[in-house]
Amino acid sequence: MVEKKKPIRTCVCCRREFTKDELMRVVATKDGKVFLDESKKANGRGAYICGEESCMKKLAKSKALDRALKTPISSEVYALIADGIAAAKK
């Protein structure tokens, strides 16, 4: 039996490729909400983050998520995303 291919996604911060299951998805909806999508199926523009400490530190500084989601993101949202990813990794 042939194995099914797993989708590959790229971390917006470090630009490394991972399988979709290894990454966390952040979504920006049309009404301006930005949140961590744990189901990985929410509607809206999505971006993937690997969740490594180095990427989390670099994320807000480089504004990579702002560019990927094509919307300005406040520092409070970056903090919520970092907390959500830290909680999900445990």
Whole-number pLDDT of residue 89: 72
- Is 1 among the domain residues? no
Radius of gyration of the chain (CA): 13
CATH code, domain carrying 31: 3.30.1230.10
In terms of residue numbers, what domain contains 63?
8-89
- Is 29 among the domain residues? yes
Split into its structural domains, the chain has a count of: 1
- Is 49 among the domain residues? yes
- pTM assigned to the model: 0.89
Whole-number pLDDT of residue 85: 84
Whole-number pLDDT of residue 35: 92
- Is 24 among the domain residues? yes
- Is 2 among the domain residues? no
Whole-number pLDDT of residue 71: 93
Whole-number pLDDT of residue 49: 94
Residues of the chain with confidence (pLDDT) below 70: 90
**2-to-5, 7, 8 alpha-carbon distances in Å:** 9, 16, 18
